[in-house]
A and B are shown apart, each in its own frame.
Chain A
Amino acid sequence: MSKPLHLMRRKAVNAVMLSVTALCTLFAAGTLVFILGYLFVHGAKSLNLDFFTKLPTPVGEAGGGMANAILGSAKLLLLATLVGVPIGFLGGVYLAEFGGSGFSFVVRYTTDLLNGVPSIVMGIFAYTLIVLPQKHFSTLAGGLALGVMMIPIAIRSSEEFLRAVPLSLKEGAVALGASKAKSILTVVIPAAKHGILTGIMLNLARVAGETAPLLFTSFGNRFWSPGWEQPTSALPVMIFTYAVAPYDDWHQQAWSAGFVLLILVLAVNIVARMILSKRVAAR
């Protein structure tokens, strides 16, 4: 007699818990939709051409844009690429093609640890290396901070895509008499090229939104920043500065900047992931 009751209880627990897990999922997925929707509604409405072409206006004066911050972000990302991609890519080649067991393990482990170092600590690192000796903030220091942050992911993603190249391709090259270096250069890297480039795009999208390492390296600037030796504005730093300021029209600008940044970052992510999943499906 008690058995059906017991069974009913178990079935009820089953139904309740399964719906709870569905709610958890809904919440997590809904958060992104909410963020995107909210930024679209609040950021897109005041977005105009001025935002992309004009300098920020002084407090209290309406209008203005963030052209200098957009250019500043682009310059910082260029520097970061120059620092992070060569080291990351070549390191990835080493791990995938030359690495033995002992040293490679140490490099991989250190890479993972470096990847986990908080971005603000990376900012201190670039500060002590460049800003402290030079005694002034600069685009260079910001670019270095972002570049060092790119290295771990560049290494691991390059290694992964190089390893995914089928062994038969390498064997074919070696059988034709190619040296190891030649087979890597002419067979392995071209075969992994798209994956590696996609990895770099994702990596760039990640550091493009980084704010903390720029606060005391590239600092900020309300005007254009010629050359590489002066402090420069960057889009994420502007969002922070404008969001915590007490002016309503600055908040509005922060929403617009947030919208632009989010669209850029998400677009790169979506395109990159689609390319990657297509490649996996084709294989």
Chain B
Amino acid sequence: MSASTTTVVGARPSGRAQSFWQRIRSGDEIAYLITFSAAASVLLITGMLVFELYKNSALSRQKFGWSFLFTSVWDPVAGQFGALPFIYGTVVTSALALVIGIPLGVGAAIFLAELAPPRISDALTFLIELLAAVPSVIIGLLGVFVMIPILRSVEPALRAVLGWTPLFSGPFYGVSLFSAGVVLAIMILPFIISISREVILGVPGDQREAALALGATRWESTWDIVVPYARKGIMGSIFLALARTLGETMAVTMVIGNDPKINHSLFAPGYSIAAVIANEFTEATGDLYQGALIELGLVLFGLTIVINGAARLLIMTTEKKGAA
């Protein structure tokens, strides 16, 4: 930097040199440096985060290698650690949350964007977005004491309809993969609804008018024209929701049952990656145990980074399409 300055000073003695010193005095360079280092520190922090997770899981990575991801024995006493039951629990509860959350969320977004009068739509959206602000530990509290009793009364009906599948067999324990999925579905609703609503509102009005003018009903214009037009943005909201369900900790920990086994029935208890870290980290005696938990953190980090990255790219491409 100093080298370039001297050449500039040499080339144009009076004007540029003065302006450079003026800029120093007026603080431009200083302001640039300070704000630049703040922005750069985000990269530094993210780098440190990855490094710390990687370094502190070294023991577990060396001992188990890739088989850590594919073995299902979790026995701290014997020093055997396999992540499969937690990966299974995380994936199953997230999938269940999406199965419940997507129809509800997209349905509500359609209503809010296409049907409700603007004022009512704004008020309801406000309420729904506030739901996103409710701390997850409070959702968990209600999950344990209110939602599980409700699910107990719903369970016989569910079993009557879907009991023939292995997913809904066996006794219902209350705390279960199913309860965790339902809690997660409720938690992702505000994200799906508020982003999808924005995207649907952004669909040009002439698309709807053209469909209605051709004789389509309101629903047909919405479902066949507007929703496909907004498809990418809605997908983006779903990916963001998925990233949240994977990392959600407290509410899941409180209702999933904390059983490190792979149970095929949704009515049985399970365990998720985030939940096992939350429950066992403080009592993890020995470096290998702690290393295994930190490696689980690394796995969770990797999963959410991939899903989030994909979501951002999806939303970015829709924004570009809208601009063009």
Interface residues of A, Cβ cutoff 8 Å to B: 10-11, 13-14, 17-18, 20-25, 27-29, 31-33, 35, 38-39, 86-91, 93-95, 97-99, 103-104, 106-107, 109-114, 116-121, 123-125, 127-129, 132, 148, 151-152, 155, 179-182, 184-185, 205-206, 208-212, 215-216, 219, 236, 239-240, 243-244, 251, 254-255, 258, 261-262, 265-266, 269-270, 273
Contact = CB atoms under 8 A, between A and B. Distances in A.
Nearest to B104: A24
Given A25-B112, A116-B243, A120-B277, A107 B39 contact: yes
Contact of A113 (B41, B136, B244, B305): B305
B46 A179 contact: no
Given A118-B300, A209-B138, A265-B135, A93 B35 contact: yes
A110 B43 contact: yes
Contacts of A18: 111, 115, 218-219
Interface string B243-263: 110111110011000000000
Interface residues of B, number: 90
A240 B134 contact: no
A94 B130 contact: no
B146 A38 contact: yes
Contacts of A93: 31, 35, 38
Contacts of B49: 114, 117, 121, 125
Contact of B111 (A21, A107, A128, A255): A21
B86 to A, nearest CB: 12
Nearest to A255: B141
B3 interface: no
A33 B127 contact: yes
Nearest to B125: A29
A91 B42 contact: yes
Contacts of B34: 90
Contacts of A117: 49, 247, 301, 304-305
Contacts of A39: 138, 142
Nearest to B143: A243
Main secondary structure of the interface of A (DSSP, over half): helix
A29 B125 CA distance: 8
B105 A28 contact: yes
Contacts of B130: 32, 266, 269-270
Given A24-B104, A93-B35, A109 B312 contact: yes
A215 B282 contact: yes
Nearest to B52: A128
B217 A240 contact: no
Nearest to A265: B133
20 contacts: A14-B218, A31-B186, A32-B127, A90-B37, A91-B35, A110-B43, A116-B305, A118-B249, A118-B274, A123-B277, A180-B31, A181-B28, A208-B135, A209-B136, A209-B137, A212-B274, A215-B278, A244-B254, A258-B138, A258-B141
B312 A112 contact: yes
Main secondary structure of the interface of B (DSSP, over half): helix
B42 A107 contact: yes
Contacts of A243: 137, 140-141, 144-145, 254
Nearest to B113: A21
B110 interface: yes
A246 to B, nearest CB: 12
B281 A215 contact: yes
Contacts of B107: 20-21, 23-25
A11 B46 contact: no
B288 interface: no
Contact of B115 (A22, A88, A90, A181): A22
A20 to B, nearest CB: 6
B46 A110 contact: yes
A116 B312 CA distance: 11
Given A32-B127, A87-B41, A116-B243, 12 more contacts: A18-B115, A27-B108, A93-B31, A110-B42, A110-B46, A112-B308, A124-B56, A181-B31, A208-B135, A240-B253, A266-B133, A269-B130
A70 B310 CA distance: 39
Interface string B144-167: 111000000000000000000000
Contact of B220 (A14, A109, A116): A14
A99 B145 contact: no
Interface string B288-306: 0000011001001100110
